[in-house]
Amino acid sequence: MPHTSSFFSNTTGYSPEQELVDDLTREQIKIYGLDIFYMPRKHLNLDKLLHEGSKSTFELALPMPVYVKSFSGYQNGMELLTKFGVRNSDEVNLVMSRSEFITSYAPYIKSYYDAIEETSDYTDELDKNIGHTAARPKEGDLVYFPFDDGIFEIKYVMFDQPFFQLGKGYVFELQCEKFEYSGESFSTGYSEVDDLQEKPDYYRLEMSMDRGGYLSFDKQEDVAIYQYNEVGELPLFNEDGTPNMAEINRLKIEHQLYKDPGFIERIPFVTATVMEWNVRNQKLILGDVSDVDPDRLNRETGNIEDNKFDNVIIIGQTSGAVYISNEAKTRDTAFNDDITIQEEFNEIKILDIGDENPFGFI
């Protein structure tokens, strides 16, 4: 039967020819490309059925050379004004060496996922059902683009372009879109990446610290928020201003927060990240709050804007700062009508103490 020449094959090729094409590909990327940061996504509370996590975090950033395929500018570059603010839909295509990724980066990613899964045997395969793979970049991971200090999300990974030269693929082409922040945590160790949490107008909790405290919070440090029993025998701060940790630890009680409407979950403490600390005004802005709770009706006072974070103890995990808040409220942001809706709803809330609500709040 007729067949193609075994001496000039465009489909099977020979290993020296394939290695030559691969070497040339990596050389061109290093000459004409640029360095980015590649960040694998870590899912928290992953729903294995829907394959979605309630929250994601990025803890690992790997410097990686890529070639910018869309050299003439961003694709679909336009800004749209929506009710959530200005949406940037810039897209960019990046090309990276497949062999370099598998050789130089896959072991780091494999060990990172092994640490997450607490796997001691490095020969164990990763569980792809929970989004762990080291064989290639995956959709949902992020890249840091240094030209405009931007973060892009990988939407699709193409592995067949160019189409199997000499019977092999040499690159991964990443189709990326501008990343839209939605409460993810960043702790990669690179300030240009981790500062992303400060830029967007996302959910922020503003705490008033008029009841005093000790030391000062550090920017971007983690804090623990404790509920406490206000009926104490001793003051929470000593005469020299230092916190009375023995009394504070004795008065700590669990948070009782609504995870879902009508269902209370007991939580020892709530974590958050310091976005801003105004020492003069004693205002602490917290983001990345692990658990929140709606404003509720206080049946004793009739106040419909009570928040369970109004009177809490906040302890900095790095600085050691200790403060007591006396008011907590959601910080208003641009293009956000939550405050307006809440105020309108407060006007029609039922204030009759005799009314019973099966969900525990109104």
pLDDT digits (tens, 9 = 90+) for 325-358: 888 877 665 555 655 666 666 666 655 555 555 5
SS (H, E, C) 67-93: EECCCCCCECCCEEEECCEEEECCEEE
At 240, list the tokens. 């020299």
Amino acid 362: pLDDT: 46
Is the pLDDT score of 274 beyond 50? yes
| Cα-trace Rg, the chain | 27
Q: How many CA atoms lie within 13 A of 162 on its CB side?
A: 10
Calculate mean pLDDT across residues 130-138.
Answer: 81
- Cα separation, 177 vs 288, in Å, equals 23
At 170-207, the pLDDT tens digits run 889 988 888 887 778 888 888 888 777 766 666 788 88
At 117-131, the pLDDT tens digits run 777 666 777 777 777
Percent of residues, the chain, with pLDDT higher than 90: 2
At 16-49, the pLDDT tens digits run 778 888 888 888 888 988 888 999 888 877 776 7
Q: Which of 36-50, 166-180, 238-252, 256-270 has the lowest mean pLDDT?
A: 256-270
Task: Tally Cβ neighbours within 10 Å of residue 145.
Answer: 22
Amino acid identity for residue 9 in this structure: S
- Cα separation, 37 vs 215, in Å, equals 35
- Cα separation, 41 vs 29, in Å, equals 25
SS (H, E, C) the chain: CCCCCCCCCCCCCCHHHHHHHHHHHHHHHHHHCEEEEEECCEEEEEECCCCEEEEEEECCCEEEEEEECCCCCCECCCEEEECCEEEECCEEEEEEEHHHHHHHHHHHHHHHHHHHHCCCCCCCCCCHHHCCCCCCCCCCCEEEECCCCEEEEEEEEECCCCCCECCECCEEEEEEEECCCCCCEECCCCHHHHHHHHCCCCCCEEEECCCCEECCCCCCCEEEEEEECCCCCCCCECCCCCECHHHHHHHEECEEEEEECCEEEEECCEEEEEEEEECCCCEEEEECCCCCCCCECCCCCCCCCECCCCCEEEEECCCCCEEECCEEEECCCCCCCHHHHHHHHHHCCCCCCCCCCCCCCC
* Closest to 38 measured CA to CA, from 64, 70, 67: 64
Amino acid 12: pLDDT: 61
- Cα separation, 271 vs 269, in Å, equals 7
- What integer best gives the mean pLDDT of the chain? 78
In the chain, domain spans: 15-197, 201-347
